[in-house]
Amino acid sequence: MTRILPVSGPEDPAIAEAAGLLRAGGLVAFPTETVYGLGADGLNPKAVARIYAAKGRPATNPVILHVADAASAQALVSRWSPEAQMLAERFWPGPLTLVLPASDTVPSIVRAGGPSVALRCPAHPVALALIRATGRPLAAPSANRSQHLSPTLAQHVASSLGEAVDLILDGGPTEAGLESTILDLSSGRPCVLRPGPIPPADLEVLVGPVDLWTGAVQAGDRQAAPGMAERHYAPRARLQLVAPGSGLRETLGETSGSVAYVALGTLPPLPPGVRGILLPLDADMVGARLYALLHELDDAGCERIFMERPPEDEAWLAVRDRLRRASAKERP
pLDDT digits (tens, 9 = 90+) for 87-133: 999 999 999 999 999 999 999 999 999 999 999 999 999 999 999 99
Beta-sheet strand order (sheet of 274-279): 238-242, 304-308, 259-264, 274-279
Domains 3-212 and 238-326 share a fold: no
34-38, 62-66, 253-257: segment of lowest average pLDDT: 253-257
Q: What is the mean pLDDT of residues 197-212?
A: 96
> Beta partners for 29?
38, 168
Q: Which of the 8 DSSP states describes residue 117? A: E
CATH fit for domain 238-326, picks 3.40.50.11030, 3.30.70.380, 2.40.50.360, 1.10.1060.10: 3.40.50.11030
pLDDT at res. 184:
98
pLDDT above 90: percentage of residues in the chain: 85
pLDDT at 247 over 80: no
pLDDT at res. 206:
96
Instruction: Tell me if 235 sits within 8 A of 290, measured CB to CB.
Output: no
DSSP states along 219-280? TTSPPSSTT-BSS-SB-SSEEEEE-TTSSHHHHHHT--SSEEEEEESSPPP--TTEEEEEE-
Q: What is the number of other CB atoms lying within 10 angstroms of the CB of residue 322?
A: 26
Q: For the chain, which residues make up each domain, given as ranges? A: 3-212, 238-326
pTM greater than the 0.85 cutoff: yes
pLDDT at res. 315:
96
Assigned architecture for domain 3-212: Alpha-Beta Complex (3.90)
Q: What is the number of other CB atoms lying within 10 angstroms of the CB of residue 162?
A: 12
pLDDT at res. 219:
77
Averaged confidence pLDDT in the chain = 94
**Pair type for strands 36-41 and 138-139:** antiparallel
Which whole-number Å values give the CA distances from 105 to 172, 183, 184, 198, 269, in the listed order? Answer: 34, 21, 20, 29, 58
pLDDT at 42 over 80: yes
